[in-house]
Amino acid sequence: MVIENECSYCGRNIRPGTGMKYIKNDGTAFWFCSKKCRLSQLKFKRDPRKYKWTKKYVKGTS
């Protein structure tokens, strides 16, 4: 059975065999479709609702 995961940052579907699963020390698991998404969330701590290239974008958020 093929399971498609969703990127924890941008919300895009991740095809099997691609992407990266990141697990924090507290047991929280994140799936990332690209390095751009991984760095935006973990290193830069950006809010995905503020960027138009994500599916989680909300117009009017500042």
Task: Tell me the three-class secondary structure of the chain, residue by residue.
Answer: CCCCEECCCCCCEECCCCCEEEECCCCCEEEECCHHHHHHHHHCCCCHHHCCCCCCCCCCCC
- Enter the pTM of the model: 0.86
Specify the number of domains making up the chain.
1
* Mean pLDDT score across all residues of the chain: 93
Q: Is the pLDDT of residue 61 over 80?
A: no
d(CA 5, CA 12): 8
Where residue 54 falls among pLDDT bands split at 50, 70, 90? Answer: very high
CATH of the domain at 40: 2.30.170.20
Q: Is residue 59 part of a domain?
A: no
Q: Is residue 60 part of a domain?
A: no
pLDDT at 62: 64
Q: Is residue 10 part of a domain?
A: yes
**Nearest Cα residue to 8 out of 25, 16, 26, 28:** 28
Domain of residue 45: give its range: 5-50
Q: Which residue would you say has higher pLDDT here, 8 or 61?
A: 8
